[in-house]
Amino acid sequence: MFAEHNLFWNMKFVDRTDETARLVSALSRDKSSFVVVYGRRRLGKSTLVKRVLHDDDVYFLADRSEGQHQRMLLATVIAQVFPDFDKVVYPDWETLLRALDYRADRRFTLCLDEFPYIVEQSPELPSVLQKFIDGKQLKYNIVVCGSSQNMMYGLFLDSTAPLYGRADVIMRLMPIRLPFVCEALGVDAVGAVEEYSVWGGVPRYWELRERNASLDDALRYNILSVNGTLYEEPVKLFQDDVKDIIKTSTIMSYIGSGATRLSEIASRCNEPATNLSRPLKKLIDLGFLEKDVPFGINEKTARKSIYKISDPFMAFYYKFVVPNRSFIELGRRNPVEHALDAHFSEYVSMQWERLCRCAVTGNVIRDVLYGKARRWWGTVLNADKKQEQVEFDVMAESLDKKYLLIGECKWTTQENGKLLTAEIMRKAAMLPFADKYQIVPVLFLKNIPVNDVGNALFPADVLELSR
C-alpha cells in the first residue's frame, strides 16, 4: 500500500537514522508491538513512519470527523489490503479492531496518524486499545502518531491514562540537527548557519525553502507574504497545544521584541508575574521558549533568568514578521526589506551564539571534554575597582573541572583575533570564580580573523561538532 518515498520532493531523506532503526526493530519483533510517535507539526513524523511501512501495511490519516465516519474511512483503507473489509458497518472501535484481528493471516502494521483527532471524537478508544494490548490479543502491530504534544503526553505518559506504560516504543521527534542542512539544501557551512537561523531543523520548512532559488526569495514567498504558506504558521502550531492562543501569541511577541525578563513580560502584558508562570512553562515544554540562567547558577532556584525564543523559525517570525505585519498586509515590501537589510546579520548572530553553545556542550574541544555550555552575565569589579557589566556568549566547565572554556561569538567580517582574545582574558580575570580554572579562550567566527592566534572555530567546525 505504501512504497518507500522521500521526505522532500527533490531532497534526500536526511538524518532520522536512530528513529528509523528503532521503528524497524519494533515492527520486526516476533510479537506484536505498540509504537507511539509524536512531536510538533512539520517534523516529518508521517514520512518517517511511511518509510518503514510495506505495501501490505495499513496507513490511515485521521481527520476531525465523528467516530462512525472515521471507522468507515478506516475500513475503506483496510479494504485495500483485506478485500471487502468495508462491506460491514462497524458500530464501535472494539468491533472493528477485533474484525481486523480475525482477518489477519500474517503480521502487518496498522498506523493511525493524527491519533488525537480520533480520540477527540471517540474518547473510549484508548481504553479499547488497553484491553487488546493487556490481553495480548492482537496479531498486528499498531503505530499511533500525533502532532498535539500536549494530548499525546496525556494519552501515553500520564500515569492515570489507560495507555500509560503500554507502548513498546515511544519516540518524540525533535528538529533535525544543523549539519544536515548542508546535505538537504546543498549549501556551504556559512549558508547552513544562515538557513538554519530561519528554518530551524523542521523538514517541511526545508522543503518549502528548496523550491526557491535563494534564501531571500524563499523568505518573500513563504513568510513575508499574506499568501505565504508559513505566514500564519505560529497560530497553526499553537492550535495543537495551547488553549489561549491570543495570550500565547502576545507573550511570544513581547519576548521576540526584547522583553526577556519576567518582570518586563508581565508589565507589558499588564498581568501579575504569577499569572505567566504556567503559559511560559508550557511554551518551554513545547520547545518554543527557553529559560536562560547564567553559567554556574541552579536553574530551579535562579533569580537572575531571562526568557528567549529557542525555535529559530519562531524567533525569525517574531523579529521580522510581527512588527511589520501591517506593511506585509498592504504589500509594501520596502519597509520589510529595510528591516532585513538592517538587522538580519544581527539576528543570525544571536542564532549563531545558540548553535555554538550547543556545539560545545558534551563535546571535546582542543582535547578537553566539556559539560553544558551557557551564557554568563553579571556585574564584576574591574582593575580600577569600579563595577563593570560583563557578558560572555559561551561558558563551559570541563568535566574534570580543570578548564573553563570562555567563548566570544561574532557573525561579522574583519574581526581581530588577537584583540578579541585579549578582551576575553581581561574580562575573565574579573570573574569571582576564575582562579579555580585554567581559562581557555575560544573565538567562534564567521571568517578567518586578522591577527589570528589559532583559537578560532568557524562554521564548518561548529557543523562538525554538531553531528
Query: Residues 323-373: pLDDT tens digits?
Result: 999 999 999 999 999 999 999 999 999 999 999 999 999 999 999 999 999
Written as nine digits, the cell of 372 is 553544558
Assess contact for 141 and 100: CB atoms under 8 A. no
Residue environment code for 124-155, b if the CB has 16+ CB neighbours within 10 A, otherwise e = ebbebbbebbeeeebebbbbbbbbbbbbbbbb
In terms of phi and psi (left: phi > 0; alpha: psi -120 to 50; beta: otherwise), the region of 27 is: alpha
What's the chain's Rg over C-alpha atoms?
25
Distance from C-alpha of 195 to C-alpha of 182, rounded to nearest angstrom: 9
pLDDT at 50: 94
Collect the ranges in the chain with pLDDT lower than 70.
1-14
H/E stretch holding 338: helix 333-360
Could you give the domains of the chain?
Answer: 17-172 (3.40.50.300), 180-354 (1.10.10), 361-465 (3.40.1350)
Distance from C-alpha of 267 to C-alpha of 189, rounded to nearest angstrom: 41
Helix (H, G, I), strand (E, B) or coil at 53: coil
Strand partners, 394: 407
CA atoms within 13 A on the CB side of 168: 20
Assess contact for 108 and 56: CB atoms under 8 A. yes
Closest CA to 437 of 387, 370, 377: 370
Helix (H, G, I), strand (E, B) or coil at 234: helix
pLDDT at 8: 40
Whole-model pTM? 0.92
Distance from C-alpha of 2 to C-alpha of 53, rounded to nearest angstrom: 6
- CA 9 to mean position of chain CA atoms: 22
φ, ψ dihedrals at 455, nearest 5°: -115, 25
pLDDT at 14: 67
φ, ψ dihedrals at 305, nearest 5°: -140, 155
Question: Alpha-carbon torsion 431, 435, 436, 441, what sign?
Answer: positive
- CA 268 to mean position of chain CA atoms: 27
H/E stretch holding 312: helix 312-316
Cβ atoms within 10 Å of 219's Cβ, excluding its own: 24
Cβ atoms within 10 Å of 197's Cβ, excluding its own: 24
The full length of the chain comes to 467
Written as nine digits, the cell of 95 is 468491533
pLDDT at 9: 38
| Model confidence pLDDT, tens digit, residues 192-229 | 999 999 999 999 999 999 999 999 999 999 999 999 99
Written as nine digits, the cell of 462 is 561548529
Instruction: Write the DSSP symbol of residue 331.
Output: T
What is the residue type of 85?
Answer: F
φ, ψ dihedrals at 384, nearest 5°: -90, 10
